[in-house]
Structure 1
């Protein structure tokens, strides 16, 4: 019996090769796109999900209900971890983590740049990263112990056993010896923590002094609760802890007129579950993935699958009516409803399975291109994970039941007598077919509108002044193979007479995202007249303001002719002055931390975006130092050929520091990389809208072809009665245009509302243009007309004699 069903299905599909090809092509494209989207969603939703007892692991964060707005930050002070452990001994573990720039690792005569995380022994007790060698309880007990990843051990030691071997960390002359006490598996790509090795935080310079500073924030703090304590209970107990350790901050908030939030807190230390940390961009300082983007990806996948299913349903129902007599005869000969259902659904299942397999092959072949275009970091191994395979099988079954099951059920409900008498036909469009076409074009127009608004917002953000000039500025990460201060001075000496080089400066932090993809942030609390102000603490060198064309509003920038500039002198931004409540802060003093050190302001500059260009600029305090490391050089050039200037810098770099990789980039490129998430969203919506329009037009073309085939005799009669070809084209096209107009009436308001909510996340945003939506409407109508025009014109020009002979 099944063999006969399969034969009939294959013969029927082969007989209608055109419609079968349309269905298979539409489903293959839909399944391919959805494979990419669901793999991306699967990767995002499984972030940090591999840790044992992950529901009991939390990251701490600040909450402050300031008068202007509530704020949250996951960057914590160094002494918080030990204080939590002392106050809550029942916790199963507390660990601090800091992963900054790459450190120089030396072994014998070999040097490597690696990310070294500063942490505590509890790290390996809280997180279940597999430890291949060593004892999890003892690996980080020694201050000179280091636990490295398997790939780092292989890079440094090759096939040798790394356990017990000694390496050095730090710049030559300031190196410290570390003993390898453990080897852990490489950290998964979907981990919020990324590093090559772990060392104790106590081994850093000035640790004892920094342990007294509750104003400097540079660490993330994780804790693991016992099974008997839930999140709400611990957060409630943390209120008294916060009052004891952050009394001054709470007092400052009260002076500013801050009011408690709905939970009764002015200031609090709260907990975020580890599984949610990746999506909490506020406590991750903008590094996490926006959860809205994940939801958008899921919506796109569902929309594209829905459009493909609509095509399938429309064509299957339409073609099933052309086989009505066959089904009527089979019913009259005794065929049961379930037998007819299996036959029709079996044909749909064959088409779905073919489309699914082709889509999988297409996704497999395009995986590399997709990763490169979206920086998606998808792994082919995800395709073979049981969870993902199960997800895709469920999707396949749902699609096959939805796309093939409904038409099969619909046809089995027809009465054999009505079918054989010819009372069943689709000469008049039904409500279902029209509704499905409207749904298709509603989704397509919705996606196009979203893509247009997202693109305009990105262009707006790019064109907005950043507070500094990125044109013809070259950013050079120094790395760990050379001394940043030495390189800065060498560059100044070498190019001071070069007319193409305007100025050179250095800093501890890059602007934008350079080729090293490293972002570090240091914040501190400044005390001014009893008010504690949180500010970004930025190390700069001479000519920083000049090189980046930052506007100087008052005072001066750092000048080498003033020897005292490197001793407690700072330059602040306008936002910092507003936080202090003064219009001209030059000459004023304030305390920089709890040690009582006082700094004097020598200049004020306009606000500039140091980290997130999508947010308002935060207060920044710039200081000068002759001993803190310079991590980045900035070179402003003035030449019609900036690439040649880059080559000149590279040649000199390779001459004086051949051991260090030259990873320079233009600051324009760095700034563009800031908009990676927005660019990804724009690209996804653009590609998805293009695919949606393609699939919608594919379905519309096939439905129009079927509808015109069934009205062939009517068209012939109209031509014999004197109807012109133009009037017939209008007659055949207007029904489809009406459906597109209804789709636009639904899609445009939805798009306006949805994108308005998305734009509200940005303090700087565009207004939604009526003209852009009008352009979408005109474009949709034209696309629909072009799609059906070939068939309508062909039918209108057909010889009436042939039309009237059509059965």
Structure 2
């Protein structure tokens, strides 16, 4: 310090005050800066006024903290941790109360993000937990067939009946093997009580493989008898009430086709996260045609599971199955070789392979579960939303830190350590995060019924209270607190007090971090928005694409297992023959779409025709099927009661079936499905139509007529004028033609809509997520823009005084933010195109991604950002410039 007597010196007592209150490690630099300012002011305004300004600068600097020098704020002597914690909490609450707007924006954003993330992560956790309740699941496998066909690799989960008995007999490493065959809903009756439930056929090893807990009965003996039946707890309560079901006889089947089964066990209800679902279990030998098919290796009808001995490696066991496949499946291997199939890298053309139980749910080739990519997408969306909320928190905290810079500088000057400041500021963030977390959980609880209804979930509050879920939610809270609160606190605690006092820390120039975070959150929002629009268009395309038949004005009625479908169909024809509102009635073995019974089936028959391998959907129909669905004939005729032989060996095929057999004029041609079978004649050809969802490629169809096979569904086409009252009429008629059987009819177009329910749920998730992401992004942008404009108040006033127009000021204030949004769109649009194109490639029938989707999303995102920032810009531009100039 300059002590020359001829040079003006600042007041010594002011320097002593500064030494008293300022931390020793900061005193020299701070005092040097103040002295430099003093000498500058001496030359500018004179010594006397410079001394006065110096005194006021020192007093203004230390005055707010002078009375707290010995208090609990930042004491010079140690205090108890509890007192320090109390002080931190008190100051944090006061600070948040003084900044209610900032606290509200952050807490609301976090609460919405926590709520959405909780729902999404619960959904993903539920899917990932499938089959996890089984003990030793690492040793349980589902078998499947691998085909290295010339066209593409195929995997099939349906097995022939003799497979599992042969595996268990020939391999000692197989501890247990069980066939699992899901039947249609069956009617179970006990003392006049009837229920329609899912009865599954299996083997005695079922309970040795799986860990479904038995409430009553011995797992080793419950299925030893062919007439034994194991039922769930819920079914036992429905049929038996308080009566003990053990040893009671249940009747299964419809009119004239009932069998009695003795209840040998009661098990707990099957968990929702189980790939195998059933209400009752009986032995697979009770299958009606079991004797005829038990040794057929070319009839694929069920799933098969094996449990391997401990320490048996999956890959090693699969290699040991090669001679087994060559021994029993020679016909399949030779057929593939004749088609030009080549061995894969493992040397397999046709092989038996294993899929671990933990992965079965996501293996779409052998299971009906969702693809694992969908679960990852749900997790990704949840992380996106959480990350966007964290970005808002960080941006607002950093922006607000510049308004608190002087406070931080003063506290550090008075001796506050960096760690103390970090804990203080991070504590404020923790309080905000905790508030958002609690409100988010409350929102989750309140909205749980609506979420279950919208997405077909079955979550309850008990599910949320599971230890794993609690740990997951707590982990989310800790993660957000560390990421969103820790970084801004660390940045603020690192402020240099001298730079603060010199005014070098400002928000007027945006930093790289803040810009990067704004770009990231808008890129995520635009990505989700593009994905939502494309998913919506794909679903809409599949709904509207012609199916090859007329789905409107047709009622689909599941017959159920209690009534005889053929008898019911004939009664309905007799009852409605003279009704002008009924156009036609028919029956079939396969429903179109997903009806209210929730079941469907598929029968595929393969055979050789003139040296060609042919595979066709084998569809049971009745008279007037083509007429009822209004499918045009390309050649020949449809089934007609005037030709009795139509019910024997006559078929109607689709055009793709004619192309597969290589016949340009197929009508009148004959073929055989097996060498010992009768010759089948083609009597008609129709255009291709979609028997199953457009998510599956259209397949050749062979329609046949039979007087012996059961009719499972009845289709009724009604006149357009009678459409509104037709369903009520069918209910009344059903009571007469099928007494005692529940009517669960639905319109065929509703069934078709249900095909795409899962895809639509994905679209709804993306739509909801993109809406929330955009909302959070805009709220964060709004708050940052507000703080930036507040920092530029004086600049705006000067511009207006110098003649700048309101549009020019709005442009100046908005252009930087719009640039960031455009950069975000440049990142999001290519990513959206890439990911959605990969998703669309899973569908054989797909839309072309239009560039107008991206243009529309880009314009919408830009307008939303412009409106968000523009509101504050217009407000600032319209303000009185005199007040703006006085504000600083």
Tell me, yes or no, whether TM beats 0.5.
yes
Alignment partner of 1:397 out of 473, 478, 487: 478
Distance 1:688 1:616, change over 3 A: same
Give the aligned partner of residue 687 of structure 1.
768
Whether 1:623 aligns to 2:704 is yes
Whether 1:30 aligns to 2:122 is no
Q: How does 1:218-237 map to 2 (within 5 A)?
A: 218-237=301-320
Separation (CA, whole Å) in 2 of partners of 1:594 and 1:602: 21
Secondary structure at 2:108 match in 1: helix
Shift of 1:538: 2.2
Give the aligned partner of residue 575 of structure 1.
656
CA contact (8 A) 1:216 1:523 kept: no
Separation (CA, whole Å) in 2 of partners of 1:307 and 1:204: 56
Separation (CA, whole Å) in 1 of partners of 2:283 and 2:608: 31
Alignment partner of 1:376 out of 453, 457, 462: 457
**Deviations 1:206-234 (CA, angstroms, capped at 9, x unpaired):** 21111133332221111111123221112
Give the aligned partner of residue 40 of structure 2.
none
**Deviations 1:543-571 (CA, angstroms, capped at 9, x unpaired):** 11221123333332222112122223333
Whether 1:792 aligns to 2:882 is no
Separation (CA, whole Å) in 2 of partners of 1:711 and 1:420: 19
Give the aligned partner of residue 320 of structure 1.
401
Give the aligned partner of residue 671 of structure 1.
752
Separation (CA, whole Å) in 2 of partners of 1:83 and 1:507: 35
Separation (CA, whole Å) in 2 of partners of 1:768 and 1:544: 37
Alignment partner of 1:196 out of 279, 282, 294: 279
Whether 1:413 aligns to 2:512 is no
Give the aligned partner of residue 423 of structure 1.
504
Separation (CA, whole Å) in 2 of partners of 1:509 and 1:79: 26
CA contact (8 A) 1:63 1:73 kept: yes
Give the aligned partner of residue 607 of structure 2.
526
Shift of 1:252: 1.5
Secondary structure at 1:187 match in 2: coil
CA contact (8 A) 2:526 2:828 kept: yes
Give the aligned partner of residue 701 of structure 1.
782
Whether 1:802 aligns to 2:879 is no
Give the aligned partner of residue 550 of structure 1.
631
Separation (CA, whole Å) in 2 of partners of 1:238 and 1:624: 40
Alignment partner of 1:298 out of 354, 379, 384: 379
**Deviations 1:582-614 (CA, angstroms, capped at 9, x unpaired):** 333333333335754543333333222222321
Whether 1:345 aligns to 2:426 is yes
Alignment partner of 1:59 out of 118, 121, 142: 142
Number of aligned positions between the proteins = 805
CA contact (8 A) 1:557 1:571 kept: yes
Alignment partner of 2:641 out of 523, 540, 560: 560
Q: How does 1:178-217 map to 2 (within 5 A)?
A: 178-217=261-300
Alignment partner of 2:163 out of 80, 85, 89: 80
Separation (CA, whole Å) in 2 of partners of 1:736 and 1:771: 24
Give the aligned partner of residue 105 of structure 1.
188
Give the aligned partner of residue 163 of structure 1.
246
Separation (CA, whole Å) in 2 of partners of 1:534 and 1:222: 26
Shift of 1:531: 5.0
Give the aligned partner of residue 262 of structure 1.
345
Separation (CA, whole Å) in 1 of partners of 2:260 and 2:649: 33
Structure with max Cα Rg = 2
Shift of 1:51: 0.6
Shift of 1:361: 0.6
Separation (CA, whole Å) in 2 of partners of 1:186 and 1:64: 37
Secondary structure at 2:634 match in 1: strand
Shift of 1:646: 1.5
Separation (CA, whole Å) in 1 of partners of 2:356 and 2:321: 16
Separation (CA, whole Å) in 1 of partners of 2:105 and 2:560: 55
Separation (CA, whole Å) in 2 of partners of 1:449 and 1:400: 30
Give the aligned partner of residue 87 of structure 2.
4
- Please say which of residues 436-445 and 67-76 is displaced more in the overlay: 67-76
**Deviations 1:362-383 (CA, angstroms, capped at 9, x unpaired):** 0111111111111123333221
Separation (CA, whole Å) in 2 of partners of 1:94 and 1:325: 74
Secondary structure at 1:563 match in 2: coil
CA contact (8 A) 1:132 1:185 kept: yes
Separation (CA, whole Å) in 2 of partners of 1:183 and 1:638: 49
Shift of 1:205: 1.9
| Structure with higher RCO (Cα < 8 A, 6+ apart) | 1
Separation (CA, whole Å) in 2 of partners of 1:300 and 1:173: 54
Shift of 1:2: 0.5
Separation (CA, whole Å) in 2 of partners of 1:14 and 1:52: 53
Secondary structure at 1:609 match in 2: coil
TM-score by length of 1: 0.97
Separation (CA, whole Å) in 1 of partners of 2:354 and 2:627: 42
**Deviations 1:221-280 (CA, angstroms, capped at 9, x unpaired):** 111111232211121122222222221121111111122223222211211111111111
CA contact (8 A) 1:213 1:594 kept: no
**Deviations 1:507-527 (CA, angstroms, capped at 9, x unpaired):** 111111011111222333334
CA contact (8 A) 2:694 2:843 kept: no
Give the aligned partner of residue 39 of structure 2.
none
Alignment partner of 1:148 out of 207, 213, 231: 231
Give the aligned partner of residue 45 of structure 1.
128
Separation (CA, whole Å) in 2 of partners of 1:594 and 1:119: 31
Alignment partner of 1:507 out of 581, 588, 598: 588
Whether 1:441 aligns to 2:504 is no
Separation (CA, whole Å) in 2 of partners of 1:237 and 1:589: 42
Secondary structure at 1:132 match in 2: strand
Separation (CA, whole Å) in 1 of partners of 2:826 and 2:843: 28
Separation (CA, whole Å) in 2 of partners of 1:504 and 1:654: 17
TM-score by length of 2: 0.89
Q: CA RMSD in A?
A: 1.6
Separation (CA, whole Å) in 1 of partners of 2:607 and 2:235: 40
Give the aligned partner of residue 14 of structure 1.
97
Structure 1 gaps of 5+ residues are none
